[in-house]
Amino acid sequence: MSGHVRRTVVVAVVSIAAAILSFLSAGPASAHGFSSTVYAKIIAGDEGHIRTALGLEYDLLVVSAADSGDDDALFQAGTAAFEAKDTPREAGALNTHAETVLRYVTDRFSVTSKGVACRPEQVTDAIIGWREGVPYASLLLDWTCPQRADEHEVRSGLFADDEGYVKGTKTIVTYEIDGRSGSAALDAANPSFSTGQAWYERFGEFFLLGAEHLLSGIDHILFLLALIAGSRRPREIVLAATSFTLAHSVTFMLAALGLVDVPASIVEPVIALSIAVVAGWHLWGIWRRGGHATDLDATGRGHFSLDRSGWIRLGVVFCFGLVHGLGFAGALGIDESWSWTLLWSLLVFNVGIEVVQLAIIAAVFPLLIVLRRRTPKVGLWATGAVSGAVSIMGLIWFVQRVSGS
């Protein structure tokens, strides 16, 4: 390999770590703060009525509604309560300014029947709960529809990009109306759906949702990069990725179906810790070998077999994969009874995650293979730099999530 090519490969590998760290330095501890998720459950009410339960990220709702309604009092009261982490005050701020909040929500979230808008009415006061470690406001709305129909359309433009607070808001809708039940994922590109929607349209949305969730979940990507950096051969990364995939698929399905429920206050810190541990495992291996690339021969093709440490690493990856699956399910946030439609939606969501995971491995791991085979010493220290950066980020996130900062 020429000196120019060698430098190019080294720069490419190290730039991955630098780009990640520069990107993360602006992000919050949750690593999911660049977008938001709205949760909507729709059920049939009394004759001519539709009931929706909306879950919206509290601080975004406060600033967005206050800005839209030019309501400085809501902004002051809501942000003060949020900073104080005072749940009763947070609910009080929303309920005192219920008109402003309701106007903001219903201007951007609507239900129509045969093309005619249904009229919304707030049923109870807003209440505050928690999702993914952040406060969420729950609003219960009844919609009076002027015409009976066997099909309804739901449209959501909540927390739009042009409001300037977040990018790429998703609205996860679950429904049991019109004799049908299912799920749908709405965003700026697909802002509406009909309860008469074809199955392939719904599944396509969930595939994209799974792919986008992995791409926007920087903590999951860092965990994957830690696996890549610490794997010496294609077979090793395949085993590690397979272990991770099997583990997170099991807990994702169990949690999404409501069979397992672990608080985000436990899941999120453990995910951060898993990043630090798996990345640190490679650093420990470098230290144990005294900084020598003893896993490679002159051609980089030496015999491969998993030693005791390798099998332990796979076990650790599997255990942490179980926790990451809970994180995937928490982000999806589906809360509905069992159905085959739900099961297939979840499977397609998981396939979307796996496709992106494989794409990242296919893009990054060959670079490391080339570098290790041509210049083993440089390759070892390049992966050490990546692992060190990832491990530090994991530890920072762990401390932040445990402390709640």
pLDDT tens digits along 352-403 = 888 888 898 888 888 888 877 777 777 677 788 888 888 898 899 899 888 8
381 in the same domain as 246? yes
Q: What is the pTM of this model?
A: 0.60
Percent of the chain with pLDDT over 70: 79
**Within this chain, do residues 57 and 164 fall inside the same structural domain, yes or no?**
yes
- Residue 175 sits in the same domain as residue 256: no
pLDDT at 341: 63
Same domain, 230 and 379: yes
> Residue 250 corresponds to which tokens in the numbers above?
């099991």
Q: Strand, coil or helix: what is 69?
A: helix
Q: How far apart are CA 168 and CA 264, in angstroms?
A: 22
Over range 112-123, report the average pLDDT: 87
197 shares its domain with 86: yes
Residues 54 and 183 in one domain: yes
Q: Are residue 299 and residue 328 in the same domain, yes or no?
A: yes
pLDDT at 34: 60
Mean pLDDT of 192-218: 76
Given a contact cutoff of 8 angstroms between Cβ atoms, the answer to whether 387 and 280 are in contact is yes
Residue in the structure block whose two tokens are 């530090």: 392
Structure tokens at 6: 């060698």
Q: What is the DSSP secondary-structure string of 325-377? A: HHHHHHHH-------HHHHHHHHHHHHHHHHHHHHHHHHHHHHHHHHHHH-HH
Pick the residue with more confidence: 111 or 193?
Answer: 111
Number of domains observed in the structure of the chain: 2
Average pLDDT, integer, range 306-325: 82
Residue 27 scores a pLDDT above 70: no
Of 23 and 212, more confident: 212
Question: Do 253 and 381 lie in a common domain?
Answer: yes
Residue 238 and residue 201 share a domain: no
Strands 127-131 and 152-156: unpaired
293 pLDDT more than 60? no
Residue 281's nearest CA partner among 373, 405, 390 is 390
Same domain, 58 and 204: yes
Q: What's the CA gap between 66 and 82, in Å, rounded? A: 14
Q: State the pLDDT at residue 291.
A: 53
Question: Which of 187, 213, 239 represents a domain boundary (last residue)?
Answer: 213
Which two tokens mark 36? Answer: 């938001």
Question: For residue range 31-86, what is the model confidence (pLDDT) as tens digits?
Answer: 344 678 899 988 887 776 889 999 999 999 999 999 999 999 999 999 999 999 99
164 and 310 belong to one structural domain: no
Q: How many CB atoms lie within 10 A of CB 197?
A: 16
d(CA 288, CA 17): 23
Cα(287)–Cα(303) distance, rounded to whole angstroms? 21
- Boundary-marking domain end, from 160, 181, 213: 213
CA distance 291 to 285: 9
Q: Pick the last residue of a domain from 195, 213, 231.
A: 213
The domain in which residue 81 lies consists of 37-213
Whether 250 and 138 map to the same domain: the answer is: no
What does the pLDDT look like over 128-143, one tens digit per residue?
998 867 899 999 999 9
